[in-house]
Amino acid sequence: MKLADDCVCAEVKDGKMYCANYSIVTFSTGVLQAAIRGDQNSVKFEPPLPRWKQDAINHITPIVYGKIFLVFPTTFWNEIDGDQQLLGYVADEKGYYGHYILDKNRPNTITVDVSGNLAIKIATQSQEETVNEVMAILRKIFNNVTLPEPESVVISRWHLDPLFLHSYSDYGPGVPESVFDDLLKPVNGRLYFAGEALNSSNYGNVQGAYGTGVYAAQQITGTSNSAGVPQATLVCVFVAGVLSLLSVVQ
Ligand SMILES: Cc1cc2nc3c(=O)[nH]c(=O)nc-3n(C[C@H](O)[C@H](O)[C@H](O)COP(=O)(O)OP(=O)(O)OC[C@H]3O[C@@H](n4cnc5c(N)ncnc54)[C@H](O)[C@@H]3O)c2cc1C
């Protein structure tokens, strides 16, 4: 990204340059923090982002969250109520393969949610090791049936993908509102920023990202009002819906 006094340009891999009066940067937190560190093959800002912008970006905590999809030859669980059912498993080790999603729209499939150190671990260990670990827990949950082996497995690795390098953003307690002001503030009046991490009331989700995108566009076109970033009226229905179906198996 090249920022000049009269324009901002994005140079892409094949060397083509796209220039405009304004640009809205929506790289994820992982990509922005890699750029600030100057990691190999990371995005480059010329000139480098000012210190106040770098400090604000470095305030964000990138969270690693992933999913394991196991597709079985048959369904070995009882018919579920509604479209989705969440099974919780409480292991001795906190967060160890604790969430399983059964979804009517994904036949014969169990989706396992993983986060933190476990998500980092499974991204680097072999698929076989991960499947063995998950199957050991599933055998405890479904202890009255003989489980088939999964015939297909997909494991996400967002934090290793150079286009993401994290999953979503979080903040430590007591993050000052000025951090969000600096995250949203354009550099040199031309380089604007948007994305889930920048939304003080809705970080970590799609509606938060959307609100900051609308806000950046309004700033550029001079149509924003004093209310700041528009907040989506949608609440995280997906979380509420899933949690209401929670059943804990031990
Ligand atoms: C497993 C998982 C489950 C989730 N579930 C939910 C959910 O149920 N509900 C919800 O609201 N949110 C959910 N989220 C969070 C949600 O996905 C994010 O908050 C949202 O996608 C953020 O949008 P964004 O536009 O800020 O960033 P992103 O969606 O990360 O978009 C950034 C874009 O920048 C592009 N990019 C990066 N580097 C470059 C480069 N060098 N050159 C060109 N392009 C580049 C990427 O390709 C990408 O398209 C989930 C996230 C994960 C990982």
What would the pLDDT profile of 71-128 be if each residue is shown by its tens digit?
Answer: 999 999 999 989 999 999 999 998 899 999 999 999 999 999 999 999 999 988 999 9
Residue whose CA lies nearest to ligand 1 atom number 46: 163
Q: How confident is the model at residue 182 (pLDDT cuts 50, 70, 90)?
A: very high
Residue nearest to atom 40 of ligand 1 (CA): 163
**CATH 3.50.50.60: which residues of the chain?**
2-62+170-221
Q: 50: pLDDT confidence band, cut at 50, 70 and 90?
A: very high
Q: Which residues does 213 contact at the CB level (< 8 Å), separation at least 6?
A: 24, 26, 194, 195
**Global pTM exceeds 0.75:** yes
Q: Ligand 1 mean position to 164 CA, how many Å?
A: 7
pLDDT for the residue numbered 232: 62
The answer regarding whether domain 2-62+170-221 maps to CATH 3.40.50.300 reads no
**CB-based contacts of 51, cutoff 8 Å, min separation 6:** none
CA distance 90 to 92: 7
Q: Ligand 1 pocket, 88 CB below 6 A?
A: no
- Measuring from atom 18 of ligand 1, which residue has the nearest CA? 205
Instruction: Output the six-digit token pair for 38.
Output: 């100057």
Q: Is the CB of 84 under 6 A from ligand 1?
A: no
Among the residues of 17-164, which ranges form H helices?
29-37, 51-58, 116-124, 127-141
Biggest CA–CA distance in the chain, Å, is: 70
CATH number for 65-162: choose from 3.40.50.300, 2.130.10.10, 3.30.450.20, 3.90.660.10.
3.90.660.10
